[in-house]
């Protein structure tokens, strides 16, 4: 009997030891998926800048420390043959906006270093050893750098008619002020995640590159830059420094400002409105290398930010503007002059892919330089090469060179290769299905790692925001489809009616009716998946953010097959959305008191009686584009109807979840919420 007991005990011990060992092995097995933790290990490459002589390529590289919950940005130096990749600024010091001197010998950038309350201009020699030295000490800070001729130009949000000493005192007083109240007597009062101080105005200044007095340029002319937002693209300076072109409101209406371009003769101290005849936005001015031509973009429909942007060319000598008609129905969002000072290069949103295009400056004929994956931020290097970033759903931004003659692409960096070398990614493809009115709709389909078409998988339907921002073949940190797929889902990204990159008519097809066609497109996309043998129709979830949150709220009020929804930063109530920095439809179609039916027909809150799907609601306090009350309204409605729901509230986030630990928490909560309603993986 004792012998039997000993055998049983030993057997149980061995089984127990085996199970513990197995559990230990499983616990120690590394996660090889593109997890959210892996996302925050990746280096993030910024837009490149190229020295005028083509010798240097510089770009920002940002890395994150999750434990410290903060990022660190450095300037990296690269070469056009891929042989150089090294940091030229130290870790832990904020840097941004690098620009080269005309002789390529010096790099200017914005940084906040010891003793700097605000970002200042620093200069770094490129051809000799040396530390960066501070050029400015502007109490209101600097941004939007350009180096033209003998001066460095910048933007600062200043207290008008005050000296720099007075402004320094004012800034210190504001910092010590115990009153937290803001006051406004006119719009705008906010932009995305920050309040706009109506005591301040944004102006362009310049300082000699070797030091000296700062010269105000726009303030003496009686004009300020657009109040809501400004950057280096808000102005342009001619190569001889005689002309300044800048964006400013072309009329007195601050509720619906008209972004016009003004051209100033800096020698004569005169200014005129260059685009007075257009009531829609005119923007992004850029002089050619000679300075005899100015290109800029313009839209023609006010209140429609996805209206096709066209290229205009202003002849400095004869003072005439010519609008260039392209041979493709696409919107230009950025442009650089080619070496011949006639043609252009642009990264264009084209059928769900950002492609580099050559554009004939006289004919308007276009030629695609790239085909698959996204190419962004082109910069000219010599006559026949551009430096750009390239990314896809499967890899983050890389530095590349593109041959303008044959489109050949060469990678110039090795960032993230080590971090991704053992990551198992799924696959993806572009498909087309019939949506509203029988129109062809493009959709990205992402498959989980190890996808087996003989098994059935759950579907995660992603509904993009905008609404006029297509999902293109690029790397997304906040809503990464491959990360979602790694949880065991087939993931869909349909580019429904209203998405950019498919022509003017397609983009404008949802105005003012935001609801009908996009909803139909999502429904038809779902049916497309329901017909696939590898999709389990009883395991479907969906969600989106911003406009995607709006459309998800519409889905919530409609009979749907989804077991759970994710609704982030949603426009839920079209009436209370007027509290935002951007009131939907108001400028183009009138406010709700003039056209109430528009808002009633499409506002999700009017369909609350049909809500039934369990919903995860997420919102950030600092979201002024879609104010946080929208999320609270939706959550209270769901709770009042006794619908299973959860509210995630981020007091320190805006329209997007940007902090490392908050982002990790966001992804984990979404995974847990969806997984509590559907079983993941193939079966």
For residue 653, what is the domain's CATH number? 3.40.50.1820
Give the tens place of pLDDT for each residue, 208-244. Answer: 999 999 999 999 999 999 999 999 999 999 999 999 9
> Quick check: 7 pLDDT over 50?
no
Lookup result for tokens 């509290």: 579
Cα–Cα distance measured from residue 568 to residue 679, given in angstroms and rounded to the nearest whole number = 22
Q: In this structure, what token pair is assigned to residue 345?
A: 């290069």
Q: What total of structural domains would you count in the chain?
A: 1
Binning pLDDT at 50, 70 and 90, where does residue 253 land?
confident
Using the predicted structure, report yes or no on whether residue 15 has a pLDDT greater than 90.
no
- Identify whether 275 is part of a domain: no
Q: Which of 43-57, 148-162, 582-596, 599-613 has the lowest mean pLDDT?
A: 582-596
Over residues 602-618, the mean pLDDT reads 98
58 with 96: CB under 8 angstroms? no
What's the pLDDT score for residue 27?
53
Q: How far is CA 335 from the centre of its chain?
A: 18
Whether 642 is covered by a domain: the verdict is yes
Average pLDDT, the chain: 94
C-beta of residue 552 within 8 angstroms of C-beta of residue 567: yes
Q: Do the beta carbons of residue 101 and residue 209 sit within 8 Å?
A: yes
Residue 208: how many other CB atoms lie within 10 Å: 14
Handedness of CA 393, 399, 403, 408 (dihedral sign): negative
- Contact between 69 and 659 under an 8 Å Cβ cutoff? The reply is yes
* Residue numbers of the domain that contains 460: 424-675
**Mean pLDDT, rounded, for 319-325:** 96
Is the distance from CB of 368 to CB of 383 less than 8 angstroms?
no
Q: How far is it, in rounded angstroms, from Cα 369 to Cα 8?
A: 73
Q: Has residue 501 been placed in a domain?
A: yes
Residue 375 falls inside a structural domain: no
Per-residue confidence (pLDDT) for residue 2, from 0 to 100: 40
Residue 558 domain flag: yes
User: Tell me: the pLDDT tens digits for 397-448?
Assistant: 999 999 999 999 999 999 999 999 999 999 999 999 999 999 999 999 999 9
Does some domain include residue 283? no
Task: State how far the Cα of 282 lies from the Cα of 221, in Å rounded to an integer.
Answer: 20
Give the model confidence (pLDDT) of 612-632 as tens digits.
999 999 999 999 999 999 999
Q: What pLDDT does 93 receive?
A: 87
Tell me, yes or no, whether 464 lies in a domain.
Answer: yes
Give the confidence band of 28 by pLDDT, cuts at 50, 70, 90: low
Please report the DSSP string for 11-73 in residue order: HHHHHHHHHHHHHHHHHHS---S--HHHHTTS-EE---EE-TTS--EEEEEEEEETTTTEEEE
Q: Is 520 inside any structural domain?
A: yes
Specify the pTM.
0.93
Q: Are 517 and 497 in contact (CB under 8 A)?
A: yes
Burial tier of 267 (Cβ tally within 10 Å: 0-12, 13-18, 19+): exposed
């Amino acid at each position: 009997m004792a012998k039997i007991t000993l055998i049983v005990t030993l057997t149980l011990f061995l089984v127990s030891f085996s199970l513990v060992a197995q559990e230990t092995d499983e616990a120690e097995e590394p996660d090889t998926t593109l997890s959210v933790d892996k996302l925050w290990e990746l280096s993030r490459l910024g837009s490149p800048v190229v020295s005028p002589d083509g010798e240097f390529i510089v770009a920002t590289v940002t890395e994150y420390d999750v434990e410290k919950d903060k990022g660190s940005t450095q300037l990296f130096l690269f070469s056009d043959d891929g042989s150089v990749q090294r940091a030229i600024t130290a870790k832990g010091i904020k840097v941004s906006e690098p620009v080269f001197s005309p002789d390529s010998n010096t790099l200017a950038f914005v940084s906040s270093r010891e003793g700097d309350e605000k970002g200042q201009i620093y200069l770094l020699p490129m051809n000799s050893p040396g530390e960066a030295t501070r050029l400015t000490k502007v109490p209101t800070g600097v941004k939007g750098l350009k180096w033209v001729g003998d001066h460095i130009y910048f933007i600062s949000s200043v207290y008008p008619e005050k000296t720099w000493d007075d402004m320094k005192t004012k800034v210190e007083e504001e910092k010590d002020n115990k009153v937290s109240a803001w006051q406004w007597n006119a719009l705008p009062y906010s932009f995305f995640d920050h309040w706009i101080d109506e005591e301040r105005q944004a102006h362009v200044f310049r300082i000699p590159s070797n030091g000296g007095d700062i010269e105000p340029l726009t303030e003496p002319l009686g004009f300020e830059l657009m109040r809501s937002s400004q950057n280096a693209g808000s102005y342009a300076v001619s190569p001889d420094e005689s002309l300044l072109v800048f964006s400013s409101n072309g009329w007195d209406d601050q509720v619906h400002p008209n972004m016009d371009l003004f051209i100033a003769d800096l020698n004569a101290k005169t200014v005129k409105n260059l685009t007075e005849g257009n009531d829609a936005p005119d923007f992004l001015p850029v002089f050619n290398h000679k300075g005899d031509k100015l290109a800029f973009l313009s839209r023609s429909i006010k209140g429609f930010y996805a209206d096709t942007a066209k290229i205009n060319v202003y002849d400095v000598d004869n003072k005439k503007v010519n609008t260039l008609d392209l041979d493709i129905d696409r919107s230009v969002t950025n442009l650089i002059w080619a070496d011949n000072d006639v043609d252009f290069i642009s990264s264009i949103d084209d059928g769900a892919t950002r492609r580099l295009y050559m554009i004939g400056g006289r004919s308007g004929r276009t030629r695609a330089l790239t085909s698959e994956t996204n190419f962004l931020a082109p910069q000219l290097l010599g006559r026949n090469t551009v430096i750009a970033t390239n990314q896809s759903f499967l890899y983050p931004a890389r530095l590349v060179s593109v041959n303008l003659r044959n489109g050949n692409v060469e990678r110039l960096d090795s960032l993230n290769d080590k971090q991704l070398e053992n990551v198992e990614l799924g696959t993806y493809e572009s498909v087309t299905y019939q949506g509203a009115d029988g129109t062809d709709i493009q959709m990205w389909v992402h498959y989980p790692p190890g996808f087996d078409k003989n098994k059935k998988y759950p579907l995660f339907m992603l509904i993009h925001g905008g609404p006029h921002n297509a999902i293109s073949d690029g790397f997304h940190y906040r809503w990464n489809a491959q990360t979602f797929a790694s949880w065991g889902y087939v993931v869909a990204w349909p580019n429904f009616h209203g998405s950019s990159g498919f022509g003017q008519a397609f983009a404008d097809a949802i105005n003012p009716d935001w609801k009908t066609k996009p909803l139909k497109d999502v429904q038809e996309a779902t049916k497309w998946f329901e017909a696939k043998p590898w999709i389990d129709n009883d395991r479907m979830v969906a969600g989106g953010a911003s406009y995607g949150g709006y459309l998800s709220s519409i889905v919530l009020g409609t009979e749907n097959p989804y077991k759970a929804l994710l609704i982030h930063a949603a426009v839920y109530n079209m009436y209370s959305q007027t509290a935002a920095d951007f009131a939907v439809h108001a400028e183009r179609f009138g406010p709700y008191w003039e056209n109430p039916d528009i808002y009633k027909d499409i506002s999700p809150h009017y369909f609350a009686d049909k809500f039934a799907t369990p919903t995860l609601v997420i919102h950030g306090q600092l979201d002024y584009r879609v104010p946080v009350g929208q999320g609270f309204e939706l959550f209270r409605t769901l709770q009042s109807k006794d619908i299973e729901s959860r509210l995630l509230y981020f007091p320190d986030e805006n329209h997007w979840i940007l902090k490392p630990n908050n982002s990790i928490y966001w992804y984990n909560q979404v995974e847990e919420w969806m997984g509590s309603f559907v079983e993941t993986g193939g079966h």
